[in-house]
Chain A
Amino acid sequence: MIRSREWFTHGIKEGVAGMYWDKVHECMDRQQLRELQSQRLVETVRRVYHNVPYYRQRMQEMGLVPEDIRGIEDLPRLPFTTKQDLRDNYPYGTFAVPMSEIVRIHASSGTTGKPTVVGYTRKDIITWSELMARTLVCGGTTKDSVIQVAYGYGLFTGAFGVHYGAERIGASVIPISGGNTKRQIMIMKDFGTTVLACTPSYALYIAETMEEMGIKREELKLQYGIFGAEPWSEGMRREIESKLGVSAIDIYGLSEVIGPGVASECQYKCGLHIFEDHFIPEIVDPETGEVLPEGEEGELVITTITKEGLPVIRYRTRDISALNYQPCRCGRTHVRMKKVLGRTDDMVVVRGVNVFPSQIESILMEIGQTEPHYLLVVDRINNMDVLEVWVEVSNKLFSDEVRKLEELNRRITSEIQSTLGLSVRVKLVEPKTIERSEGKARRVIDRRKL
């Protein structure tokens, strides 16, 4: 039974339909939520222990039996699962059901070796659709929306997740997939697209292409952008919002957990609500694995508690975030994760300093509303790490005076240096020097031969 509490509805106008997709769960009392999580965690642990040899072995190594896990308070006793663990059991070794129960297989890109394979049961697909319906409603989508899915359809989970969620709500789906940008824009204009779903870097690329084609944002009917699959800064959000005339919503997910649909921003854009009735988040120190207190930044770790095909226990996402349990103005009670600040593996270590591309991005945005086109080039010259930051000069930053451009260069250099505590060489480059991607943006080139 769900009790209502005063602050659940605080600040929300009466009669705003479609505000929540699943109010019962999204606004659940936190004590009840904790009980639900405990119960589901206990079931999940029992299931993986009996059905997945990998988990059984790991638990046995630690001297654990399923009965040791009596609730959420015992979660830190369980071993972590990493991407490497899933790869070691490639392709289906960590599935918790027989293949006859699996109705869908997806995989990560696998740019660094074998892909990570994930399997969904029929019920997992339903869960995923529900969670994506929550996500999309959270971001402003309704059954009247026309949603253009410009994530790539294929083994990547992004497009299908959005697709299912949108159909669940009853929105009109345009399954255009990624790429062919001019056609995307034509369709967006002609079909009256109101919601665009793609990666934030692709959204910006679409905006630039529109400028080149001489199409103004007023010619489109876009209202919302549902952007995820890579870290992006607040500055980039402002830029996308002004260029496309949308409210840009950050969504979070990863294929190993379920795909998109793990967490989503609400209209207040003050962190992403993690759907805690399905996932238990933790923040740990990426080096030691120690669980960090609320509010501290560290690596996000997720345990799935309703997945059937591929449950994951304490999965190391490699994404850097922080958790905030304070109630949100939107009325949802689910914990908010801070917008992902970077990835532990996007991070480059230069002369012993951890450098995240997102740090550079925020600095550039603050300096001159720069279109965030930049690249970090790390090299080793005479046994010394050298960090170069290439910045494309936009019309806004450009000046006809050498002095001003040199000042700009100095300013970027000194702000990066004071943030990172590292000397850098900033190079101003022409537009389009840095390769644009239609998927995830590449921000670092590491030329060091270690």
Chain B
Amino acid sequence: MIQISVFLENKRGKLAEVTKVLAEHGIDMCAISIADTTNFGILRIIVDDPEKALRVLRQAGYTVNTTEVLAVEVPDRPGGLNRVLDILSKGDINVEYLYSFVRRPAERALILFKVNDLKMAKEILMRENVSVLTEDDVNDLCSK
């Protein structure tokens, strides 16, 4: 799963400038998260067309990178996320950060993980029958 990461200065209106660029190019966001510090922020988004998003944002002059993240679907009920984290922790996988979004009416939550070892994390989750989503799965969710 490709995540788009954008460097932002911690200033008023900066986020809106980015979302405007995406809107103007008809790019759909499925998930969004912002990490912030006193001076700067990092915007992380999952979009329907990451290649295009990368291109248009770079053209607009932003510092943009792509990152491989893990998309996992969990039941939206107590313990749903905990089970996944447990498996990862037992498998000695470090989670750098995560964010999520919940979809109704499906009542499943989509969790996006940045981990230190993506391949291994995918393997052990699938072994435990956790549903790891592909790009297409997420796009489907997005467009529904």
Chain A residues within 8 Å of B, Cβ to Cβ: 212, 393-395, 397-403, 405-406, 427-433
Contact = CB atoms under 8 A, between A and B. Distances in A.
A259 to B, nearest CB: 35
B65 A398 contact: yes
B35 A398 contact: no
Contact of B65 (A400, A432, A433): A400
Contacts, number: 55
Nearest to B97: A401
B101 interface: no
B65 A395 contact: yes
Interface residues of B, number: 23
Interface of B: 3, 5, 7-9, 14, 35, 37, 39-40, 42, 44, 58-59, 61-65, 67, 96-97, 114
B7 A398 contact: yes
A315 B9 CA distance: 46
Given A398-B65, A402-B37, A406-B37, A430 B42 contact: no
A367 to B, nearest CB: 16
Contacts of A431: 61-63
Contacts of B67: 400
A238 B13 CA distance: 36
- Residue from A394, A395, A403, A432 having most chain B Cβ neighbours under 10 A: A395
A394 B64 CA distance: 9
B8 A430 contact: yes
A212 B59 contact: yes
B35 A430 contact: no
A202 B63 CA distance: 21
A427 B11 CA distance: 13
B3 to A, nearest CB: 7
B63 A401 contact: no
Nearest to A425: B39
B63 A393 contact: yes
Contacts of A429: 9
Contacts of A212: 59, 61
B7 A430 contact: yes
B35 A433 contact: no
14 contacts: A393-B7, A393-B63, A394-B63, A395-B58, A395-B64, A395-B65, A400-B114, A401-B42, A401-B97, A401-B114, A402-B37, A428-B40, A430-B14, A431-B61
Contacts of A427: 39
B5 to A, nearest CB: 4
A314 B106 CA distance: 83
B87 to A, nearest CB: 22
A430 B5 contact: no
A432 B62 CA distance: 9
B61 A398 contact: no
Most A Cβ at <10 Å: residue of B3, B9, B63 = B63
A432 B64 CA distance: 14
A428 B39 contact: yes
A402 B8 CA distance: 12
A433 to B, nearest CB: 7
Contacts of B42: 400-402, 405
A106 B5 CA distance: 50
Contacts of A406: 37
A400 to B, nearest CB: 4
Nearest to B43: A400
Contacts of B37: 402, 405-406
A430 B65 CA distance: 13
Contacts of A428: 7, 39-40
A107 B87 CA distance: 73
Given A395-B65, A398-B65, A428-B40, 11 more contacts: A394-B63, A395-B63, A400-B65, A400-B67, A401-B97, A401-B114, A403-B96, A405-B42, A430-B61, A430-B63, A431-B61
Given A430-B62, A431-B62, A400 B44 contact: yes
Contacts of B64: 395, 398
B63 A400 contact: no
Contacts of A403: 96
Contacts of B114: 400-401
Contacts of A394: 63
Contact of B3 (A399, A400, A430): A400
Nearest to A397: B63
